[in-house]
Structure 1
Amino acid sequence: MPLYGDIIVGVVILIGLLGIVIPVIPGTLLVVVAILVWAAIVGGWAWAVLGVAVALIAITETVKYLVAGRVLRSDGIPNRTVVVGAVVGIVGFFVIPVVGLFLGFIVGAMLAELVRTRSTTQAWRGTVSASRAAAYTIGIELFGGLLAAGIWLGGAIVL
Structure 2
Amino acid sequence: MGAWQLLLVGLVMLLGLVGVLVPGVPGRWLVWAAMLWWSLHEQSGLAWVLLVAATAVLLVDQAVVWLLPPRRLRGVGITRRMAAFAGAGAVVGFFVLPVVGAIPGFIGGIYGTERHRLGGHGPALASTRAVMRAAGTSVLVELFACLLVAGAWLGAVVWG
TM-score (norm 1): 0.58
Matching residue of 1:157: 158
Matching residue of 1:61: 62
Matching residue of 1:38: 38
Q: Which amino acid aligns with 1:60?
A: D
Identical aligned residues as a percent: 33
Q: Which amino acid aligns with 2:138?
A: T
Q: Structure 1 residue 37: deviation in Å?
A: 0.5
Residue by residue over 1:87-114, the C-alpha shift from the partner in whole angstroms, topping out at 9 and shown as x without a partner, is xx7xxxxxxxx96xx9xxxxxxxxxxxx
Question: How does 1:1-159 map onto structure 2 within 5 Å?
Answer: 1-45=1-45, 46-66=47-67, 68-69=68-69, 82=70, 132-159=133-160
Matching residue of 1:72: none
* Counterparts of 1:24 and 1:62, CA distance in 2: 18
Q: Structure 1 residue 129: deviation in Å?
A: 6.7
Q: Which amino acid aligns with 2:144?
A: F
* Counterparts of 1:54 and 1:158, CA distance in 2: 21
Structure 2 residues not aligned, in runs of 5+: 84-128
* Counterparts of 1:14 and 1:130, CA distance in 2: 24
Aligned length: 108
* Counterparts of 1:19 and 1:138, CA distance in 2: 10
Q: CA RMSD in A?
A: 2.6
**Which structure has the larger Rg over C-alpha atoms?**
1
Structure 1 residues not aligned, in runs of 5+: 70-81, 90-97, 103-127
* Counterparts of 1:44 and 1:22, CA distance in 2: 33
Runs of 4+ in 1 over 4 A off after TM superposition: 128-131
